[in-house]
Amino acid sequence: MSCTGKKAFQRGASGAVVGAILLLALAAWYLPARLDAQSPAATAEIPDLSEIWARLGPLPGRPNAPLVPTARAIGFGLAFDEVLSPRYDCSPVSAPLILLDPFNFQIEQQADRVILRYEKDDVVRTVWLEGHGHPEPGAYDYTIQGHSIGWYENNRLVVVTSKFVFEPTGLDEPRHIPSSTLKKVTERYWREGDRLQVEATTEDPLVLLKPFEFTWEWERTELPLERYDCDPEDARYPAKFHGSTYQDPNWVRLPATGGQEQ
């Protein structure tokens, strides 16, 4: 090896050593944070909810309070035409109604997130656990399932979801009570033996006079999750039998704007 080659080799070796040290330092900084949720102390407060759950109903002795909509929400429901419901086009249902649907769902707990998989509409919700550096939603990030963050507290999983899109039947399908972009759903899950229980609170000041609160319970099941595979053509067929809220659904005069057009 020439002198020049030896120096180049030494420089390369020095670079590799520095690189390795930097890598170790990075790992020393990063790994404890990643493993924090799995450390023995933290695990003691994390309930094991990772199962497939089958619907039971409200918690025994805890009858659910009724939904109390605002007048504008009731007015919207009265004006709404059933045939316009997005459910007839396989648009998936969101929280909180998806909790009440008679289908099984699965909870999968990971170090930095919790995945909620539902048979109904094949919905998958990702709950980003706080303290793991996931990006905050942007101003435009409204989606059907919203943006969920979560944390463990007193042996419970707390999930808070916001940034929902407007849904014309988002809080009551048969009566067409909508949910607005202000909807915020808080779910608190805990386990009692082979049962999963939840307390859910929905706030939506445009739609609800007071928060809508309910409890619900599921039991552990060995049955696998089934695919829903909603078929849009199939979904729309029954809509035609509902008729219309309007005598002539093809002709309603649009009110004058009074020169307020922009």
Shortest separation between residue 165's beta carbon and other proteins, angstroms: 16
Shortest separation between residue 102's beta carbon and other proteins, angstroms: 7
Q: Which is nearer to other proteins, 29 or 241 (CB)?
A: 241
In whole angstroms, give the CA distance from residue 99 to residue 188. Answer: 12
Terminal alpha carbon distance of the chain: 79
Q: Which is nearer to other proteins, 103 or 142 (CB)?
A: 103
Shortest separation between residue 131's beta carbon and other proteins, angstroms: 32
Q: Which is nearer to other proteins, 54 or 115 (CB)?
A: 54
Report CA-CA distances (Å) from 47 to 149, 173, 196, 199.
17, 33, 10, 15
Tell me if 182 sits within 8 A of 170, measured CB to CB.
no
Shortest separation between residue 231's beta carbon and other proteins, angstroms: 5
In whole angstroms, give the CA distance from residue 162 to residue 95. Answer: 10
Shortest separation between residue 21's beta carbon and other proteins, angstroms: 54
Residue type, 112: D
Site residues, other proteins (CB under 8 A): 66-71, 74-75, 78, 82, 87-88, 90, 93, 96-98, 100-104, 119-120, 171-175, 177, 209, 212, 214, 223, 226-231, 234-235, 237-238, 241-243
Q: Which is nearer to other proteins, 3 or 71 (CB)?
A: 71
Q: Which is nearer to other proteins, 107 or 208 (CB)?
A: 208
**If you write DSSP's letter for every residue of 90-119 in order, what string do you get?**
TPPP-TTHHHHSSS-EEEEE-SSEEEEEES
In whole angstroms, give the CA distance from residue 21 to residue 8. Answer: 20
Q: Which is nearer to other proteins, 47 or 92 (CB)?
A: 92
Shortest separation between residue 114's beta carbon and other proteins, angstroms: 22
Close Cβ partners of 42 (under 8 Å, ≥ 6 residues apart): 36, 152
